[in-house]
Each structure stands twice: as C-alpha cells, then as structure tokens.
Amino acid sequence: MKNFQEIKPGDDIKEVIKAAFDADLEVSGEWGYTKELATIIKDSQIPVNQAEHTLASMRAYLEMNMTLEKEERYGSINLSEKDRVEEKEEGRLFHKVSYEISAMKEDIYADFIKEYKEGHSKPDFDISDHFKRRKEATLLRDVIYWFEIL
C-alpha cells in the first residue's frame, strides 16, 4: 500500500484550513497523528463527531490529493468511522478515532465515471463488472486521528 506523508507540525492548523478549504473552524494544535499532536477542538457549531469527521476528511484530502503531484493524486476520498475511544487525562478529554479511508487515483476514477456515463444505458454494459473493477481499483487505508475536546 502507498505510504502518504504526514502533514508536518508547526503551521497554524486554523490558517491552513482557511487557506486550503475556505473554512473557519475553532481549532488549534496539530493534525492528530498522536495524542501529543492532537487537533484541539475549541468550539463547534456542529456535533463534535461531525466536526471530527470533517477535520479527518480535510487531513486525508491534504495527504492524498493537495500535496501530491497531479499524476499521484487520489479522488473520491471517503471516510468511515470504525472505532472511537474516549480518554481522560489530567482533566483533559481526548477522542481517539479510527477511520477507514477509501480513495481512487483521480485519473482512474475519471475513466470509470466516463465509462459509466457512456455505457450505463447500453444493453451490453455489464454494471456488475464495472463496479467490481471499481472496487478492485479502490485503495483502503486505516488511520487514527486524535482530538482534544475543550
């Protein structure tokens, strides 16, 4: 499986999110690769688990698309929560959330979309084979994201 580069700590996560996604989130800290580098959710206008999913999706998109050369980029990036553990330490609340990420190389994904659009209404189009090949071309990866909730 492809190894993706972690986002290096040090940049202001709130500013990176604003620049990359034009979103204003009340967060600080880092990108959640460890408890010590947790993303701190200061305030959320949406349920915390939804905010966590949004942040994890942003991190995945940065790792798998925005920081890669065009021919290496992934698209159709989706996250599914697999597990969540709440930890309390010295009066602080942490969430350790496990996600499964599915994605496909952008060029391959575009080819599948084109194939489907051009062929789905034709009588000889094998939709089962189409989706079988799409599934085979999909990358799956498991990641952990640490959040601190204020």
**Alpha carbons 32 and 44: distance in angstroms, whole number:** 17
The sign of the torsion formed by the CA atoms of 31, 65, 104, 69 equals negative
The sign of the torsion formed by the CA atoms of 7, 105, 120, 130 equals negative
Task: Check if the beta carbon of residue 4 is closer than 8 Å to that of residue 64.
Answer: yes
106-119 and 127-136 helices, crossing angle to 10° = 180
**pTM of whole model > 0.85?**
yes
Partnered with residue 7 across adjacent β-strands are none
Q: E strands, the chain, where?
A: 26-29, 39-43, 74-89, 92-105, 139-149
Query: What pLDDT score was predicted for residue 3?
Result: 83
**Alpha carbons 107 and 113: distance in angstroms, whole number:** 10
**Which residues 6+ apart lie within 8 Å of 130 measured at CB?**
112, 115, 116, 119
From first to last of the 150 residues of the chain, give the pLDDT tens digit.
Answer: 678 999 999 999 999 999 999 999 999 999 999 999 999 999 888 999 999 999 999 999 999 999 999 999 999 999 999 999 999 999 999 999 999 999 999 999 999 999 999 988 899 999 999 999 999 999 999 999 999 999
Q: Which residue has the tokens 């051009």?
A: 118
Question: Environment class of residue 54 by beta-carbon count within 10 Å: exposed (0-12), middle (13-18) or buried (19+)?
Answer: middle
